[in-house]
Amino acid sequence: MMSGPGDEIAAAEGRGRGELRASHADREQTIEMLKAAFVQGRLAKGEFDLRVGQAFAARTFAELAAVTASLPAKPATAKPPAPVRTDIEPPVVRPGPLLAVATAVCACVWMFGFLVPGVVLLVYLTTLIYLFVLAMTLWLGAAVVVESWIKRRSGGGRGRIRVVPARPGRRVC
């Protein structure tokens, strides 16, 4: 009795897929599964290395299945993707460096005014400029605080239209 190519496939199906030899592509697919489990934190580094070695040494589908059979289950819920910001907000103005420089300049001019007589006008002028910068910085800071308060109170957007659903039996024009 002669056997043909179909008989080999039928014999292999009768034995089950586990006894069939695994190809290099099958081993690579198993290693990719192990990599995914390692990245997701379901495998420790040592266990990952051990299982990759077992996958390279596996000759049959049954041996490959044994490498991935005891993998911990995937997390039940996936983390939602981070929200994408559609509106770009202007950068927040930080008045600290400006105030630090203005204070240092004013202090130096005052020290110079105490040491050198006759520069009183320079001291007064510097003091007036410093007070102006201080007032503008405080005003700007207050404006930023008020603007953020208004945004939080209004729900984050300006000119937003609130849609109210109509009640049953109420006529909408």
pLDDT digits (tens, 9 = 90+) for 90-139: 666 677 787 888 888 888 888 888 888 778 888 888 888 888 888 888 88
CA–centroid distance for 135 within its chain: 38
- Any idea which residue has 């659903």 for tokens? 165
Q: Is the pLDDT of residue 164 over 70?
A: no
| pTM given for the model | 0.36
DSSP, res 18: G
pLDDT digits (tens, 9 = 90+) for 33-66: 899 888 888 888 999 999 999 999 999 988 888 8
**Under a CB-based contact definition with an 8 Å cutoff, are residues 15 and 46 in contact?**
no
Q: Is the pLDDT of residue 153 over 70?
A: yes
Give 21's strand partners.
60
Residue boundaries of the structural domains of the chain = 17-69, 96-154
Burial status of residue 64 (CB atoms within 10 A of its CB: 0-12, 13-18, 19 or more): buried
Supply the pLDDT for residue 31. 92
- Any idea which residue has 């603007």 for tokens? 147
CA distance 16 to 10: 10
- Any idea which residue has 């990759």 for tokens? 52
Rounded mean pLDDT, 8-30: 69
- Any idea which residue has 């049959």 for tokens? 60
In the chain, the percentage of residues whose pLDDT exceeds 90 is: 12
Helix/strand/coil for 60: strand
Supply the pLDDT for residue 53. 92
